[in-house]
Amino acid sequence: MLPRTDPTRHDAEIPLTGSGSSGAPAEFETPAGLRAKDLLSIGDLSADEIQLILDTAEAMKEVGTRTIKKVPTLRGKTVVNLFFEASTRTRASFEIAEKRLSADTLNVAATGSSVVKGETLADTVRNLEAMAPDMIVLRHAAAGAGHLAARLCRARVINAGDGMHEHPTQALLDAMTIRQRKGRVEGLKVSIIGDLLHSRVLRSNVLLLRALGAEVCVCGPATLMLPDMARLSVRATTSIDEAVEDADVIMLLRIQLERMRGYFFPSLREYFQQFGMTVARLRRAKRDVIIMHPGPMNRGVEIASEVADGPYSVILEQVANGVAVRMAVLYLLAGARHE
């Protein structure tokens, strides 16, 4: 199902004569939107809304193939990218997505902002809100940071990763990549292997994959399992061979040393020996398996370079889809029924 209006029309020269309150052409004023004001968790989305985002992202992807990679969809809207944690893919793809939709963008990083003088997240958000942005894209080390920001401001908040909690747009771009390669998500066997405990990507992916009907197996050292694994309706194993066997999709997760307090395994070398994805291990997988990784990768820790750069890898397709998915989320939130 595609949105009622076409957000990708190359009508960049449409005069601003629409009757909409923003001054944008009326046809871009009322896209089929999302129910919630913000996108904080995959749990905020119904299965139909997830499909709507993925379908919209497919339409948005075409914009990136044009000579002039721009549509006027968010002309007149202001988006603040507020990143309190390091990021390459998410920050760059949000900014590219915003620019392709003609939004005005502002980037605020912790370094160089008044956060270094001790200003709180709440005060930072309140002060940015006073400048009337339409959306805030927030990455923060604390779980629930997006929820706090969303309560404090009228602007729509998109969670770009909150601590070890969730990373909803990552799960959406992962689903887009799976759907492109496999034609569906329902019924697929997806194995997620690595540092489960510290991964927001895992949590968002499990919610999304289960909502779309995939079977999920998670695998890692017992010390890196989630305490609430049973609640997530996934199969858990500490055997990587078991996780690889029969999987349609293998998703490797980064070992997040920066979030670890203490030792969860003896050494990175031993982790690679037991849980690293190698060409030899991959021989047990289905012939059409795809290998995913959200990035950044620790080569030689959770994944061998031969696998990361090999024929089964779709890792750079994930990155490419990140722009389209974020365009879709920005567009659909801008037209949320909430408004």
Residues at the site binding ligand CP, with contacts judged by CB under 6 A: 87-90, 161, 167, 170, 294-296
Q: Are 208 and 172 in contact (CB under 8 A)?
A: yes
Give residue for tokens 């595609």: 2
Q: How far is CA 129 from the centre of its chain?
A: 24
Q: How far is the CB of 88 from ligand CP (least distance, A)?
A: 4
Between 91 and 281, name the residue whose CB sits nearer to ligand CP.
91
Q: Are 271 and 265 in contact (CB under 8 A)?
A: yes
Query: CA 277 to CA 291: how far, in whole Å?
Result: 9
**Token pair in block for residue 17:** 């004569």
Between 90 and 321, name the residue whose CB sits nearer to ligand CP.
90
Between 3 and 161, name the residue whose CB sits nearer to ligand CP.
161
Secondary structure string (H, E, C) spanning 48-94 = HHHHHHHHHHHHHHHHHHCCCCCCCCCCCCEEEEEECCCCCHHHHHH
Q: Which residues fall within 8 angstroms of residue 141, CB to CB, at 6 or more apart?
A: 84, 85, 163
Between 75 and 203, name the residue whose CB sits nearer to ligand CP.
203
Q: How far is the CB of 111 from ligand CP (least distance, A)?
A: 16
Between 60 and 253, name the residue whose CB sits nearer to ligand CP.
253
Between 167 and 198, name the residue whose CB sits nearer to ligand CP.
167
Q: How far is the CB of 191 from ligand CP (least distance, A)?
A: 19
Q: How far is the CB of 167 from ligand CP (least distance, A)?
A: 6
Q: How far is the CB of 53 from ligand CP (least distance, A)?
A: 17
Between 198 and 281, name the residue whose CB sits nearer to ligand CP.
198
Give residue for tokens 């909150």: 162
Residue 139 host element (H or E): strand 135-140
Q: How far is the CB of 265 from ligand CP (least distance, A)?
A: 22
- What b/e sequence results for 58-84 when a residue is b if at least 16 CB atoms lie within 10 Å of its CB, and e otherwise? bbbbebeeeeeeebbbbbebbbbbbbb
Q: How far is the CB of 160 from ligand CP (least distance, A)?
A: 7
Query: CA 187 to CA 287: how far, in whole Å?
Result: 17
